[in-house]
């Protein structure tokens, strides 16, 4: 094991797959000379050269369009969209073209491409550069969607996404780039569609994603002091979604809470809650509780942004209030 930052682990995952497969290449704004806006691609240009690590114009449509064309010819592009908010400018290409090409061609054309993007709040970038948009992508049939919470997953899930035969969007959380953790050395690949129990518990199940995972874990320790034993599940992959791990936990604890940074309306936790309510209603001892960001654009003021996104304190209060 090596201790790496989340951003270093991203670069490790890309480098691992570029070493393994000469068809893999990286393109995006400032990914080469500058090493990425968030320094998650540092060293790749020097290691693989300008043919495989390509800076692009400031045009999300051009980046995604080039990636789609490259994938159609048999290459395996990794396209970086600097902020997830900018997916909106190329959403037609992603939702109507990339996601549907396999189906529109009766399986004759597959698109093995990855779109990496920096997602989420916490960096004080305002409402147009801080959104959590994983639920957008989850709603589009034909796309796979992952969101790593740890450096190990930043490497392993990215590698797994690059090996997929279909398009995958990888949401890397901006506030996690500086976080550190142990990362397996050598080849490390994680299968998409597998949730992980990050903390075992008996009393309640807390389901979280990306930057909400460490907050849920901190909340679980606080809850332990209050006599509540919380199990924390890291969803990791929204499409495919591992409901069996979540369902097994809820069947054991009989209580479920979701912690979602995305706006409340139509968030990913609503889908998980509906599945649990349909399939495990008799196992529940109380209502499913969703702890979310309100349905508002993120405020510009630091204090208001912090008050909007779920915090450790809000998670603890919600759990204690629900179980009485």
> Do 312 and 218 contact (CB within 8 A), yes or no?
yes
SS (HEC) of 179-207: CEEEECCCCCCCCCCCCEEEECCCCEEEE
Say which residues have a Cβ less than 8 Å from residue 120's Cβ, sequence separation at least 6. 84, 130, 131, 132, 171, 173, 174, 175, 210, 211, 261
Residue that the structure tokens 């919470």 belong to: 149
Percentages helix, strand, coil for the chain (3-state, rounded to 5) are: 40, 20, 40
Number of C-beta neighbours around residue 148 at 10 A: 29
β-pairing verdict for 204-208 and 180-183: unpaired
The DSSP-derived string for 165-182 is SS-EEEEEEGGGTT-EEE
Task: Tell me how far apart the terminal alpha carbons of the chain are, to the nearest angstrom.
Answer: 42
Q: Nearest-CA neighbor of 220 among 184, 148, 273, 212? A: 212
Q: Nearest-CA neighbor of 72 among 93, 88, 49? A: 93
Q: Nearest-CA neighbor of 210 among 138, 286, 298? A: 138
Hey, which residues are catalytic here? 60, 129
């Amino acid at each position: 094991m090596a201790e790496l930052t989340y951003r270093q682990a991203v670069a490790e995952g890309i480098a691992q797959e570029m070493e393994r497969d000469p068809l893999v290449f990286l393109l995006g704004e400032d990914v080469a000379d500058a090493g990425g806006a968030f320094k998650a691609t540092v060293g790749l240009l020097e290691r693989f050269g300008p043919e495989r690590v390509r800076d692009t114009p400031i045009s999300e449509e051009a980046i995604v369009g080039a990636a789609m064309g490259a994938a159609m010819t048999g290459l395996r592009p990794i396209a970086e969209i600097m902020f997830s908010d900018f997916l909106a400018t190329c959403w037609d290409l992603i939702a109507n073209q990339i996601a549907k090409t396999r189906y529109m061609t009766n399986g004759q054309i597959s698109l093995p491409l990855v779109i990496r993007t920096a997602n989420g709040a916490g960096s004080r970038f305002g409402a147009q550069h801080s959104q959590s948009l994983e639920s957008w992508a989850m709603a589009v049939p034909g796309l796979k969607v992952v969101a790593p919470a740890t450096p190990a997953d930043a490497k392993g899930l990215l590698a797994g996404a690059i090996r997929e035969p279909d398009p995958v969007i990888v949401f890397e959380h901006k506030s996690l780039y500086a976080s550190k953790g142990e990362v397996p050395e050598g080849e490390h690949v994680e299968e998409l569609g597998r949730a992980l129990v990050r903390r075992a518990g008996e009393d309640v199940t807390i389901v979280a994603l990306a930057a909400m995972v460490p907050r849920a874990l901190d909340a679980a320790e606080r809850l332990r002091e209050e006599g509540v034993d919380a199990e924390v599940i890291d969803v990791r992959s929204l499409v495919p979604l591992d409901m069996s791990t979540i369902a097994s936990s809820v069947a054991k604890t009989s209580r479920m809470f979701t912690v979602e940074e995305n706006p409340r309306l139509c968030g990913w936790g609503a889908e998980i809650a509906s599945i649990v309510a349909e399939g495990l209603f008799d196992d529940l001892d109380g209502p499913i509780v969703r702890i979310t960001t309100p349905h508002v654009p993120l405020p510009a003021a630091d204090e208001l942004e912090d008050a909007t996104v779920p915090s450790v304190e809000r998670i603890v209060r919600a759990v204690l209030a629900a179980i009485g």
